[in-house]
Amino acid sequence: MKKKKILTITTICSIIALYIILHITPTLALRTHLFMSGYPVIAFTTGIVDDEFHNRIDKQILESQNAKCYTLTKPAFEKTTKGQLRNYKVTKKGILYFAEYYGEL
């Protein structure tokens, strides 16, 4: 009984630690989002650069959301819309970062 409880606590702590590690930087959060969205190869192979266009145009909105935009150098390709998923917004909440698709324009 005691071993089972220790194993359960260790497993839960490991999952929490992994979640925190995968969201501790903007690029890790973006790569995690890509991986979980079904683009594992892109998550590991693409370059990530600042999206100067969106960061400049949407500066006030992004600052109010504590966010920044990034562009993938090798974007994911969505088969249903036949579009490239190039631009992402990464928001900082506390010490963690969370990514979401931002769109083209």
Domain ranges for the chain: 2-101
3-state DSSP assignment of residue 28: helix
Structure tokens belonging to residue 76: 């994911």
pTM beyond 0.75: yes
Structure tokens belonging to residue 84: 């490239």
* Cβ partners under 8 Å of residue 12, min gap 6: none
For 29-78, the pLDDT digits (tens) are 999 999 999 999 999 999 999 999 999 999 999 999 999 999 999 988 88
Distance of alpha carbon 101 from alpha carbon 4, whole angstroms: 40
Under 8 Å between Cβ of 23 and 97: yes
Maximum C-alpha span of the chain = 59
Q: For residue 105, is pLDDT > 80?
A: no
